[in-house]
Amino acid sequence: MKATRIATAIAAALGLAAGAAQAQISDNVVKIGVLTDMSGAYSDLAGPGAVAAVKMAVEDFKAKDKPAFAIEVVAADHQNKGDIASNKAREWFDRDKVDVITDMVTTSTALAAMKVAKDKNRIALISGAASTLITNENCNDVTVHWTYDTYALANGTAKAVVKQGGKTWFFLTADYAFGQSLEKDASAVVVANGGKVLGSVRHPFPGTDFSSYLLKAQASGAQVIGLANAGTDTTNSIKQAAEFGITPKQTLAGLLMFITDVHSLGLNATQGMYLTTGFYWDMNDQTRAWSRRFFDRQKKMPTMVQAGLYSAVMHYLEAVKATGTDDTQKVMAAMKKAKINDFFAKNGYIRDDGRMMHDMYLAQVKKPSESKYPWDYYWIRQTIPAEEAFQPLSQSRCPLVKK
């Protein structure tokens, strides 16, 4: 009888402990908001594919870890506008009890939404935006910049092109924070490696007619026209440069190009171009296995933004499980403590400034004759170690970094 009472008491205590642990997940639901460009210039490299990647992470986490809490995914189109992004983030946090927002493919939307996340003490996992402002002047302790940034892009592509003999540059730049940041970082790399910047011109974002800007670049006589833009701005710039006969007399350097851009333009138009990426689907068995699953859903191979989203969300969910809570500060502490080892990153880690550190890759687009099967587009010419790829903490302007 006494043993029965003891067993009952232990069971009750365990039940209370389990209930207390479970209660630490607010509403017993972890809600993830994917804030992305669903219909504009960046929808191909992020957009519906970003939502698919996040849902894959949730499904895989459920299958592997069998969490006691529910996980929900919501998505919205920020239309590449900062005010829409901040309003949606605030609505999600206040009304819909979203715990974490992710993607934010445009720098202006990322800067706006991560500020709201800080105000509301929620987590922001940025994959698609590029500006180093995110981990410098605008850094905060609830934001992680996961996939790439303008410093890493310049450090890979611009350096490689200068070393190949492209010494004089003229920039065609998207006129907002991302383009300006990319031009600044690439210019610094060009000059540091013995090159010279002859000038630049800024175009509206998004743009369709680049003729007047390209003609100014042509008139500069620069060996290299640096495209400090992305998405359809980049693909349209490349198409129109060919139409005006600017290429191949002058070389184009796509400072931010995605595999979807190469696919859209074709190898004839892009062969030989260098680009810097945080992920390529055909690197090894792990990347191929995940990418083929993604392809089955989206009928295209994933960009680094989409692959990075999966990695970021999986790392977040694992931290929630490890801590038994969705409390922002506790989850962030666990995320910063744990290494990232998956198909996207090996021995990755999150620095004090919010930069997720991982290797980057210098790729060169194959000639049509070198491509052996669909989406076989890149030669990986160099692995750029994380500590070389990203801005050193010694140069950081983030107030969270102790020097």
- Whole-number Cα distances in Å, 201 to 56, 80, 175, 237: 41, 21, 9, 13
**CA–CA separation, 109 and 42 (whole Å):** 12
Bridge partners (DSSP) listed for residue 321: none
Cβ(373)–Cβ(162) below 8 Å = no
Query: Which whole number is the average pLDDT over 101-114?
Result: 96
Return the residue matching tokens 């198409």: 239
Beta-carbon contacts of 1 under 8 Å, excluding residues fewer than 6 positions away, are none
- Nearest CA-CA partner of 316 in 306, 327, 305: 327
| pLDDT at residue 224 in the model | 94
DSSP label at residue 344? S
Q: What is the dihedral sign for C-alpha 202, 204, 207, 208? A: negative
Output b/e per residue, 145-163; b: 16+ Cβ within 10 A. Answer: bbbbbbbbbbbbbbbbbbe
Q: How many CB atoms lie within 10 A of CB 24?
A: 15
Per-residue tokens: 39:
């219909």
Name the amino acid, one letter, at 35.
Answer: L
Query: Which whole number is the average pLDDT over 318-331?
Result: 97
Residue 87 half-sphere exposure toward CB, CA atoms < 13 A: 8
Same fold, 28-148+283-359 and 151-277: yes
Burial class of 243 by CB neighbour count within 10 A (0 to 12, 13 to 18, 19+): exposed
**CA–CA separation, 119 and 122 (whole Å):** 8
Condensed to tens digits (0 to 9), the pLDDT of residues 170-194 reads: 999 999 889 999 999 999 999 999 9
Torsion, Cα of 238, 239, 243, 248 (10° steps): 40
Beta-carbon contacts of 98 under 8 Å, excluding residues fewer than 6 positions away, are 31, 32, 33, 74, 92, 122
User: Which backbone phi and psi does 391 adopt, to 5 degrees?
Assistant: -55, 130
**CA–CA separation, 234 and 213 (whole Å):** 13
Cβ(368)–Cβ(271) below 8 Å = yes
CATH code matching the domain that covers 151-277, chosen among 3.40.50.2300, 3.30.1330.20, 3.40.190.10, 3.40.50.720: 3.40.50.2300
% of the chain beyond a pLDDT of 90: 90
| pLDDT at residue 403 in the model | 63
Strand ordering across the sheet containing 100-103: 70-77, 29-36, 100-103, 123-126, 143-145
Torsion, Cα of 49, 50, 52, 58 (10° steps): 160
| pLDDT at residue 248 in the model | 87
* 156: pLDDT strictly greater than 60: yes
Per-residue tokens: 341:
């080892």
* 139: pLDDT strictly greater than 90: yes
pLDDT, averaged across the chain? 93
Per-residue tokens: 320:
């929630």
Q: How many CB atoms lie within 10 A of CB 292?
A: 12
CA angle 374, 232, 217 (to 5 degrees): 115
Return the residue matching tokens 């490349």: 238
Name the amino acid, one letter, at 245.
Answer: G
| pLDDT at residue 14 in the model | 36
Condensed to tens digits (0 to 9), the pLDDT of residues 5-45 reads: 433 343 333 333 333 344 489 889 999 999 999 999 999 99
Classified by CATH at the fold level, domain 28-148+283-359 comes out as: Rossmann fold (3.40.50)
Cβ(374)–Cβ(164) below 8 Å = no
Q: Strands, DSSP E only, in 156-260?
A: 168-174, 196-203, 224-228, 251-254
Query: Which whole number is the average pLDDT over 320-341?
Result: 98
Cβ(234)–Cβ(257) below 8 Å = yes
Condensed to tens digits (0 to 9), the pLDDT of residues 205-236 reads: 988 899 999 999 999 999 999 999 999 999 99
| pLDDT at residue 11 in the model | 39
pTM as predicted = 0.91
Q: Where are the domains of the chain?
A: 28-148+283-359, 151-277
Condensed to tens digits (0 to 9), the pLDDT of residues 44-78 reads: 999 999 999 999 999 999 999 999 999 999 999 99
Name the amino acid, one letter, at 293.
Answer: R
Residue 339 half-sphere exposure toward CB, CA atoms < 13 A: 7
Condensed to tens digits (0 to 9), the pLDDT of residues 347-401 reads: 999 999 999 999 999 999 999 999 999 999 999 999 999 999 999 999 999 999 9
